[in-house]
Structure 1
Amino acid sequence: MNKLNKPLFFLSVILLVIIVFSEAGSAFFIGISGQAISSPGYGIPCLAFFDGLVMFSIFLISASLFIPERIQGKIQGIITLIFSLIMIFTAMGLVFYILLKLAIMVALFAAPIFGTLAYLAVFGHFETDGARLMLSYIMLLKFVFAVLLILSHRRFIENKGLVLVILTSVVSGVIVSLCHNIVPSFLASITDAIAGIIVLIIALVWSIFFLIGSVKSVLKAVG
């Protein structure tokens, strides 16, 4: 049985942290062609919310390297339960917030002449080029992260839950990219908000799965 290649594993963890911070735009900027490009809109920052689930899964795996299995089995369910509840309530709050912003944008755009002019003045200048560059950078890092994770131990690819959540992360990035590019740039703020809502709903569904699994683990530990 192959041993875990710890340097490659921890390098993949570092890359994942960089991905999440890049998506969130938390004081993290990328210099491209001499310009500082930050995460625009809602779609890309919402990817950080979903990839927080990926990062949590990887951190649980990392914890198994330092915490005895007997102790880990007792606390993992409780930690996952708390984390899942926080993610669920936060995702719901963000969905309602972005829905409100989306309703305002649509109402303005659909109310000519002054409403449309107000929309164009406030929301009609979405950074599609910056978003495209940011997403390309993020997708590249995700690919490298996945390769390093698999190379660190081939059994990671046998973990169906982990593989699915990583694939969902990639698909979410594709959804955001499509929403940015299927409409003219002056409408991209609207489709970006829609992309953010879709990603949050996906994250909400996964958080519910995490919650169900954690409840089962807690009941098993108590029993």
Structure 2
Amino acid sequence: MGELRKPFLLLALLAVALVVGLELGSSLLTGGGEAGGALLTSARDLGVDVGDVGGISEPSGRGTGYLTLIDMVALWTTGLFCLSLVLSDRVQGRVQGVATLVFSILLLLASLVLLVIAFVELTVMVSLFLAVPFGTLAYLALWGFFPVGEASLLLGLVLLLKLVWGGLLLLAQPRFLQNKGLVLLVLTTLVCTVVLEFLHRLVPVILVSILDDVGALVFAVVAIVWGLVLLIGSIPAIVKAVRVTATVR
């Protein structure tokens, strides 16, 4: 592929690492604020009487955190590129297949577990919201006001870092554009980020938590697909490494 421009590649690794860090910390960076007044206003606009809303706090949501599942693939892929800077092609070929196999299995397991959790929570949300009036009141108390503004700022920063990551990869090696899998991964994570922001803006604020969970479900499924791609792709590398080892012996 030609010589890599090491500084740009390392900066790309830093950028995608920051993305994963922000997404992992999204539950701490958003939500938890006082939402009583805003919830009361939104509920009245929809003709719902929520009574006393003192002590109600904003839920942090799952969507941004679940983006981590996809962006871990981006971090892993970029890390493998950086690994070529310190390991010979022969050693990297032996290590990469097994390491990718282990990573893909862990990703699949984590995505499946989180998929079930998001599905159960979404089922509870919808069931409570439709169980008028007491179920609806319980839903409003737990998920009635989503921190759309805070989430939007965080997603904007994440999206910017992802664009920087993609640009730095291109600067590091223009021929990365010929890597269809990498291009598809970049597009996948960018589209998912934009889709989540769209979902947050699509409905009244008291319903955003439901669509945020829908987004989380979709991201878990997308991560499962990428996990399978990595799993299948690691097998030829392992077979090749085994054959080379057997030949040397």
TM-based fold match above 0.5: yes
- Paired with 1:155 and 1:138, the residues of 2 have a C-alpha distance of 25
C-alpha distance after superposition, 1:147-170 (max 9, x if no partner): 111112212222111111111000
Structure 1 residue runs of 5 or longer lacking an equivalent are 31-38
What residue is the counterpart of 1:107 in the other structure?
127
2:215 alignment partner, one of 195, 202, 212 = 195
2:27–2:65 contact (8 Å) kept in structure 1: no
Check if 1:206 corresponds to 2:226.
yes
Letter in 2 for 1:7: P
Is the CA contact 1:3–1:153 (under 8 Å) kept in the aligned structure 2?
A: yes
Tell me the residue number matched to 1:15.
15
SS at match of 1:126: coil
Return the alpha-carbon distance in structure 1 between the equivalents of residues 12 and 241 of structure 2. 31
Show the counterpart of 2:199: 179
Deviations 1:64-121 (A, max 9, x none): 1111111111111100001000000110000001111111111100100010011011
Offset, 1:2: 5.6
Is contact 2:26–2:65 with CA below 8 Å preserved after alignment? no
Which amino acid counterpart does residue 14 of structure 1 have in structure 2?
A: L
How well do the aligned residues superpose, as a CA RMSD in angstroms?
Answer: 1.9
Matched, 1:5 2:5: yes
The alpha carbon displacement at 1:28 in A equals: 7.3
Q: Which residue of 1 aligns with 2:113?
A: 93
**Match for residue 179 of structure 2?**
159
Distance in 1, matches of 2:167 and 2:138, equals 46
Aligned pair 1:123/2:132, yes or no? no
Distance between the aligned counterparts of 1:109 and 1:26, measured in 2?
A: 25
85-94 or 19-28, which deviates more = 19-28
The 1:72–1:28 alpha-carbon spacing in structure 2 relative to 1, beyond 3 Å, is farther
- 1:30-41 aligned within 5 A: 40-41=60-61
Q: Separation in 2 of the partners of 1:20 and 1:116?
A: 34
Q: When the two structures are superposed, what TM-score results if normalisation uses the length of structure 2?
A: 0.82
Q: Residues 12 and 78 of structure 2 are in contact (CA less than 8 Å); yes or no, is this contact kept in structure 1? A: no
Task: Report the CA distance between 1:221 and its aligned residue.
Answer: 2.0
Structure 2 portions without partners, runs of 5+: 31-58, 244-249
Match of 2:166 among 128, 131, 146: 146
Q: Quick one: distance in 2 between partners of 1:107 and 1:28?
A: 27
- Equivalent position SS for 2:3: coil
- 2:21 and 2:28 mapped to 1: Cα distance? 7
* Separation of aligned partners in 2, 1:214 and 1:164: 18
SS at match of 2:61: coil
Cα distance in 2 for residues equivalent to 1:100 and 1:8: 42
**Following the alignment from structure 1 to structure 2, what is the Cα–Cα distance between the partners of residues 54 and 116?**
39
* Partner amino acid, structure 1, of 2:15: L
Please give the alpha-carbon distance, in whole angstroms, between the structure 1 residues aligned to 2:95 and 2:11: 26
Contact 2:27/2:60, CA 8 A, preserved across alignment:
no
Residue aligned with 2:60, SS: coil
TM-score (norm. length: structure 1): 0.92
Query: What is the CA distance between 1:220 and its match in structure 2?
Result: 2.4
The structure 1 segments of at least 4 consecutive aligned residues displaced by more than 6 Å after TM superposition are none
Contact 1:22 1:28 in 2 (8 A): no
